[in-house]
């Protein structure tokens, strides 16, 4: 397992971070400074005046459950690999590397390779970094903006005639002569200039914008977790399906070999005149039917191998033949089952829908603030001097201060309807959140029913296979004694083939059911660290690296935690 993708599982007690109602995702460590504390005090009063709804996380549904009747306790067992009885451990935490419950080194190796190589992981981390960079960029609006910073020097020459450079006591003729012979005026001028503007967040437009950005970043973070969960579950499921096809192919080939031996024996008996030709032809037809079932199985396995290679981030021609033996897998005897009230904090899709709801709420605040006046403070300052050594002195300083209030006087109701559109989007996000929660509970309920009924199916298939094998032995002996027709033998052989194939499918279904249940419960992402530095903003500019930016983030994080 690559340490750059998944860290070791953290120890957990009876209360886990994800199931704790006060759980908050780990955030980057804040840098403390007096400047950050000052910014906090400056922005907090403005933050409290933000217009629009204050987002509150939806409460977990108290009446929701996984079953209309009595819950599943212990599944039935079967005397075959994958037939162990499973008990549901209510309230038990899910390990971060849940696939290790199968105790297969090959499965763990496949999952590790997929996490390290699959481009969907890289894309999800890049999307998360993009969302965080947008939040960093918009947070810069909390600070004054300096522009038009310049330092200049000019050398000028002007005619003295511009300043009346002629004698008043001379005649017009002598004045003209004096003017034409006057020396031009030459001088140098040095100047500095900087313009600063600041828009106080009086109505919380910037605060709501950054709040929405942070919610969008959280949504991308849970999309990353969903990508991890989907990829790991797909790898495990594909490996199990590949093992199932391999076992079905082996069973079919073994029976084809047995049919071929039986056909050879019948052919010899026919040559001796002991049986009719119809018996030989019937066995030959059964052999052909069994052989016809082999290519579809091989096709299905080949396509599943291609799918598995895609999950591993490989091309089809890079298949090195790694495979999982179905009989080598171990079915966990205890299955963790989260309490219904905790499921909404564990499912990445629910957390993602909640973040989208949060973003929609913040957008209503932004649209509301756009309808209100915006105050802008501006200032320009600098210095001008004919001498460089006197440029930075009080006597040469120049400045200009200004303030303006801008508001939309008439827009035909455009801003109002934009706000109403965001209100409708908030209602849509709320309905979508509830739909996601309902589907999540349905996924868990379906997985629980599959765990129960597929265990019963496997036990029935094992019994059917045993009965089919005994029946074939009996009718073969009866046929040898002349007590039955060969058609009865053929029917018994076909029944045994189907029973063995169905038993293999039922075995694989038990492992797939466990995978589906753990996936439906969230996959234990809270017990892993999936993010890498590729998902973090780049500290390459002043805003990202300064204590002021840390203070801005602290303000927003505290405002978020206060909800």
CA 461 to chain centroid, in Å, comes to: 39
* 20: alpha, beta or left? (left if phi > 0; alpha if psi -120 to 50): beta
pLDDT in the model for residue 185: 78
- Cα separation, 41 vs 482, in Å, equals 101
Work out whether strand 334-337 and strand 87-90 pair parallel, antiparallel, or are unpaired: parallel
Q: Which residue has the higher pLDDT, 67 or 5?
A: 67
What is the pLDDT of the chain when averaged over all its residues? Answer: 82
- Cα separation, 107 vs 435, in Å, equals 33
Query: Exposure pattern of 424-462 as b/e (b: 16+ CB <10 Å)?
Result: ebbeebbeebeebbeebbebbeebbebbbebbebbbebb
Residue 250: is its pLDDT beyond 60? yes
- Cα separation, 343 vs 520, in Å, equals 9
How many Å is the Cα radius of gyration of the chain?
A: 39
> Could you tell me the pLDDT band of residue 69, with boundaries at 50, 70 and 90?
low
Q: Rounded to two decimals, what is the model's pTM?
A: 0.80
> Could you tell me the pLDDT band of residue 385, with boundaries at 50, 70 and 90?
confident
pLDDT in tens, 485-541: 888 988 998 899 999 999 999 999 999 999 999 999 999 999 999 998 888 888 754
Question: Mean pLDDT throughout 268-274?
Answer: 88
Longest Cα–Cα distance in the chain: 156
- Cα separation, 536 vs 547, in Å, equals 17
Asked whether 348 and 356 are in contact (CB, 8 A), the reply is no
Please work out, in degrees rounded to the nearest 5, the angle formed at the alpha carbon of residue 320 by the alpha carbons of 319 and 324: 95
Residue where the block lists tokens 């690559």 = 2
Q: Which of 211, 553, 207, 554 lies closest to 361 in space, CA to CA?
A: 211
- Cα separation, 543 vs 277, in Å, equals 91
Asked whether 182 and 167 are in contact (CB, 8 A), the reply is no
- Report the range out of 39-48, 52-61, 115-124 with the highest average pLDDT: 115-124
**Percentage of the chain exceeding pLDDT 70:** 82
pLDDT in the model for residue 39: 42
């Amino acid at each position: 397992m690559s340490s750059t993708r998944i860290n070791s599982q953290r120890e957990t007690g009876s209360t886990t971070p994800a199931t704790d109602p006060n759980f908050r995702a780990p955030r980057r460590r804040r840098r403390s400074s007096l400047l950050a504390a000052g910014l906090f005090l400056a922005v907090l009063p403005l933050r409290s005046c933000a217009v629009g709804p204050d987002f509150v996380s939806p409460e977990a549904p108290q009446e929701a459950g996984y079953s209309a009747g009595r819950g599943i306790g212990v599944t039935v067992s079967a005397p075959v690999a994958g037939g162990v009885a499973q008990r549901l451990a209510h309230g038990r935490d899910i390990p971060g590397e849940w696939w290790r419950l199968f105790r297969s080194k090959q499965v763990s190796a496949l999952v590790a390779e997929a996490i390290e190589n699959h481009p969907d992981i890289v894309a999800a981390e890049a999307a998360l970094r993009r969302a965080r960079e947008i939040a960093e960029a918009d947070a810069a609006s909390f600070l004054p903006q300096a522009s038009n910073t310049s330092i200049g020097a000019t050398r000028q020459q002007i005619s003295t005639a511009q300043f009346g450079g002629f004698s008043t006591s001379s005649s017009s003729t002598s004045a003209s002569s004096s003017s034409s012979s006057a020396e031009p005026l030459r001088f140098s001028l040095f100047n500095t200039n900087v313009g600063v503007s600041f828009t106080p967040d009086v109505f919380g437009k910037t605060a709501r914008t950054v709040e929405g950005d942070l919610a969008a970043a959280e949504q991308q973070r849970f999309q990353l977790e969903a990508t991890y969960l989907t990829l790991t579950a797909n790898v495990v499921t594909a490996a199990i399906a590949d093992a199932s096809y391999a076992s079905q192919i082996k069973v079919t080939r073994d029976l084809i070999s047995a049919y071929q031996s039986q056909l050879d024996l019948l052919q010899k008996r026919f040559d001796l005149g002991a049986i009719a030709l119809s018996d030989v032809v019937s066995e030959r037809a059964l052999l052909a039917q069994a052989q016809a079932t082999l290519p579809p199985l091989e096709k299905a396995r080949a396509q599943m191998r291609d799918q598995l290679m895609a999950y591993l981030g490989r091309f089809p021609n890079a298949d090195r033949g790694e495979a999982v033996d179905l009989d080598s897998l171990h079915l966990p005897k205890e299955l963790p089952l989260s309490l219904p009230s905790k499921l909404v904090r564990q499912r990445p899709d629910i957390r993602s829908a909640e973040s989208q709801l949060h973003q929609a709420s913040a957008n209503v605040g932004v649209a509301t603030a756009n309808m209100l006046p915006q105050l802008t403070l501006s200032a320009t300052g600098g210095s001008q001097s004919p001498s460089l050594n006197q440029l930075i002195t009080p006597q040469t300083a120049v400045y200009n201060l200004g303030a303006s209030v801008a508001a939309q006087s008439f827009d035909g109701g455009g801003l109002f309807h934009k706000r109403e559109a965001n209100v409708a989007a908030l209602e849509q996000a709320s309905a979508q959140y509830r739909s996601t929660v309902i589907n999540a509970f349905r996924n868990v309920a379906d997985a629980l029913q599959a765990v129960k009924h597929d265990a019963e199916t496997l036990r029935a298939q094992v019994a059917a296979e045993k009965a089919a094998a005994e029946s074939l032995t009996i009718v073969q002996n009866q046929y040898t004694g002349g007590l039955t027709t060969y058609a009865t033998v053929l029917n018994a052989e076909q029944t045994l083939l189907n029973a063995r194939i169905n038993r293999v499918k039922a075995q694989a279904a038990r492992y797939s059911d466990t995978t589906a249940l753990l996936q439906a419960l969230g996959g234990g992402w809270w017990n892993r660290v999936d993010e890498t530095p590729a998902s973090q903003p780049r500290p390459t500019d002043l805003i990202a690296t300064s204590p002021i930016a840390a203070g801005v983030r602290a303000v927003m994080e505290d405002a978020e935690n206060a909800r």
